[in-house]
Amino acid sequence: MRTALTVLFVLVSASVFSQANQAVGIGRKVIAAHKDTTIESDTSKENKEPRYFYVSMIANAFVNARGGFARRFSPAVEVGRTYGIFDIGIATGFMNVLKGGSDTAHYLELRPTINVFSKGRFAESLCLGAGGVFGAKQALMTEICNGINFNISANSAIALLQGYIFLDGTNSSRSTQYFGLSFTYNFLKPHSVNKQRKKAAIVSDN
């Protein structure tokens, strides 16, 4: 009888030990998955392309407009998110910096941008925008532009811009051309997978 109880105890202990090992293994997998999710939460494992938020400060000047600096200068700020070669952003700014006037110059615009070519730190981008000018007679605003971008680092870039803006109203419309500069800051976490992939994209063709 004692022998049978001893054998039964050994079998039960072995079963419990085996289940405990399985539980520990599952726990380790859950912890690893959580850690991986934390690290990879802002990127895509499938396409290996970086994803991050950005902010751009833009200074444009209209080249076929009459008037001085205040009428030609058009500052703006754009915030958005990058998905590899594609950006989607919201821009807000002013068509000029004149004080007073019958129309307002403040606008809001949706601006999708795609990189059509890249070589090392350089890239060429194409932008199509649509939005509106608040309180203006020609309130509907559309835009087409392209830029030559230079990545200073993984977190910052500058660009030369040129483009056309089209303004439409009920009884009139007009278009104008501009040249400009922009500075972009990318919100990339230090030592993150996204920053590593951004660096790899910059230096891959050098």
Domain ranges for the chain, please list them: 1-41, 51-203
> 3-class DSSP state for residue 93?
strand
pLDDT given for residue 101 in this prediction: 58
Backbone angles phi, psi at 37, to 5 degrees: -65, -40
For residue 126, the cross-strand partners are 114, 146
Residue 99 neighbours by CB distance under 10 Å: 6
Tell me the pLDDT tens digit for each residue of 166-204. Answer: 999 999 999 999 999 999 999 999 888 988 888 887 876
- Degrees, nearest 5: CA angle 113-159-162: 70
Tell me the pLDDT tens digit for each residue of 60-88. Answer: 999 987 888 999 999 999 999 999 999 99
Tell me the pLDDT tens digit for each residue of 88-107. Answer: 999 999 999 988 655 679 99
State the pTM of this model.
0.74
- Asked if pLDDT for residue 112 goes beyond 60, the answer is yes
**Measured on CA atoms in the order 179, 204, 55, 90, is the torsion positive or negative?**
positive
- Asked if pLDDT for residue 45 goes beyond 60, the answer is no
Burial (CB count within 10 angstroms: exposed 0-12, middle 13-18, buried 19+), residue 124: middle
Domain topology for 51-203: Porin (2.40.160)
In the chain, what are the helix, strand and coil shares in percent, each to the nearest 5? Answer: 25, 50, 25
Q: What is the mean pLDDT of the chain?
A: 82
